[in-house]
A and B are shown apart, each in its own frame.
Chain A
């Protein structure tokens, strides 16, 4: 079983166990929504959490795994949101099914955002560290200005109205699962390890034959494409988007989630997204303290635990089912043979 897939350090059945656990969580929430125990308001926040999970896990490709400072991720969310919305408005009459409409417009958004990702990935080959951060920040501002100034198409600073609100919880949830799983499997593949090695030591990985330019571009393009998925869900959930929603502050918000969760930990990003999106909603009366909380958390975290909540480790549901942290291969073998025959 294991040899067919080229994933070292990864057992295929652990993926299935985690997927099963995620399905159970989904069913629980879905039942709560259907029975009306969770209000529309809460389910809308749940979708917002899912959007932030997609945004932070995708930024984690560029910042956590590739080790490049990226302060313009919201721009790609914006590109995705606008492209998907405009496509959906255009195609609304010819496509009847909501899910098909969502998939078509999201794929379109991913293609455009991927191309924009190439644009930002190319300079990233030449720049490093803070300089790259500044460049991506500048890129984000330029994208925002372009969106604001293309009045005829995007309705400028007033924002785009009349986007079909076709998003519901199951679609958002399973899209998120697919995105996170894709990123996870990608990061555990040969290509993912190549990207990790670039973060650890660029010169050393180049000398063992890793094509740095190719993998850096790949990392940025993937991050941008998944960001477009997040933007698309965001737009279809609220039904209204404005350029101000994709500004520098939003980029920083996503960045904070990645840093707090742990750069290089997808589950860390997921946990941080859940906490940082739901916390301000729970403390509604303190909403003006929201960013004060974010920023002090960020500073305190950097001072006392710079590696973030999870570091580069991942949380897996298999830990709950199997108390032993590392099951030895000998125990696993008979089980698998048994199921194969």
Chain B
């Protein structure tokens, strides 16, 4: 039982990271129907940014400031990528846009490799490593922080999308771009905003990921990025709540497979789950079916 609860907490921890990344994938997909493969790389850059702001500044910044600055930089980067690579391809065939996204992902990876070098940077703990003890359980402070902050930012995002005017505009653009233009919505600005929000959350995930796995390297974003994408598809791509749910489910499934079945087969099982989802319910858990038009 104790093992079970511990594993559940671990699962929630991994799930939080996947959910944060998956939200970015799903928002971008919802608004311009593009699988932004470069999203995992934004997460990786987020980890590097956090490292730079935490350890390479002449003055010491508090942890929250490091996170906020990292998120702002990642948001700018996301907007820049959209402006340079994706904007011209909005009316192009979807396959061209997808290929561009793959190209962008590889480009950013190799750029990071050249700028930051081949040897991984070792992230020192940014917060106290003393565990929090509740009754019989001891939980790492980092785990609590990861789960807590992730949920906080995801709730904030949900409120933003549901309650504010820009959020409403975002939903409008994702439903019908032309009609949104007619209603006086600045579509370019909304798409930029979507990229900014998604990238900021992705970078946050990158910071947590780097703090847990300590090694910051140029390929850091690949595997979590792919798995978060699986989570987004699993939850129903284009649906923000679905992405969060999918992220947590994939995180929990992965942790339990590792703990009770075998750690070697985790990747195969996660991707097998993806294929099964695509085959039997391509719209995902919470997604809506799209009818094919002739």
Contacts and interface: CB of A to CB of B under 8 A. Distances in A.
A138 B267 CA distance: 9
A296 B113 contact: no
Interface in A109-166: 123, 126-127, 129-131, 133-135, 137-139, 141-142, 145-146, 148-149
Contacts of A133: 35, 98
B100 A303 contact: yes
A289 B106 CA distance: 12
Interface string B91-128: 01111111110111111011101100000000000000
Interface in B134-193: none
Contact of B271 (A138, A149, A249, A295): A138
A299 interface: yes
Interface residues of A, number: 40
A292 B111 contact: yes
A252 B102 contact: yes
Contacts of A142: 267-268, 271-272, 275
Given A142-B268, A294-B106, A135 B278 contact: yes
Interface string A292-328: 1011111100110010000000000000000000000
A303 B114 contact: no
Given A129-B95, A252-B102, A302-B103, A138 B264 contact: no
Q: Is the interface of A mostly helix, strand, loop or mixed?
A: helix
Contacts of B226: 137, 141
A69 B98 contact: yes
A203 interface: yes
A186 interface: no
Contacts of B272: 138, 142
B85 A299 contact: yes
A295 B104 contact: yes
A101 interface: no
Interface in B224-248: 226, 229-230, 233
A133 B233 CA distance: 13
Q: Is the interface of B mostly helix, strand, loop or mixed?
A: helix
A252 B106 contact: yes
A127 B282 contact: yes
A124 B109 CA distance: 30
Contacts of A130: 35, 94, 98
B291 interface: no
| Listed residue (A126, A145, A289) with the most chain B CB atoms within 10 angstroms of its CB | A145
| Listed residue (B88, B103, B105, B114) with the most chain A CB atoms within 10 angstroms of its CB | B103
Contact of A298 (B99, B222, B229, B279): B99
Interface in B243-289: 264-265, 267-268, 271-272, 274-275, 278-279, 282
B265 A145 contact: yes
A16 interface: no
Contacts of A69: 95, 98
Nearest to A67: B95
B254 to A, nearest CB: 13
Interface residues of B, number: 41
A306 B92 contact: yes
A59 interface: no
B89 interface: yes
A288 interface: yes
B294 interface: yes
A138 B282 contact: no
A69 B94 CA distance: 11
A222 interface: no
Given A123-B278, A252-B102, A302 B230 contact: no
A320 to B, nearest CB: 32
Nearest to A203: B294
B231 to A, nearest CB: 12
B104 A141 contact: no
B110 A149 contact: no
Contact of A134 (B105, B233, B265, B294): B233
Given A126-B279, A135-B274, A138-B271, A306 B96 contact: yes
A291 interface: yes
Given A292-B114, A295-B110, A127 B278 contact: yes
6 contacts: A133-B35, A135-B278, A142-B267, A291-B106, A292-B111, A295-B109
Interface of B: 35, 85, 88-89, 92-100, 102-107, 109-111, 113-114, 222, 226, 229-230, 233, 264-265, 267-268, 271-272, 274-275, 278-279, 282, 294
Interface of A: 69, 71, 123, 126-127, 129-131, 133-135, 137-139, 141-142, 145-146, 148-149, 203, 248-249, 252, 255-256, 259, 288-289, 291-292, 294-299, 302-303, 306
Given A203-B294, A291-B106, 15 more contacts: A69-B95, A123-B278, A127-B278, A127-B279, A134-B35, A138-B274, A145-B271, A148-B264, A149-B265, A149-B268, A252-B106, A294-B106, A299-B85, A302-B99, A303-B85
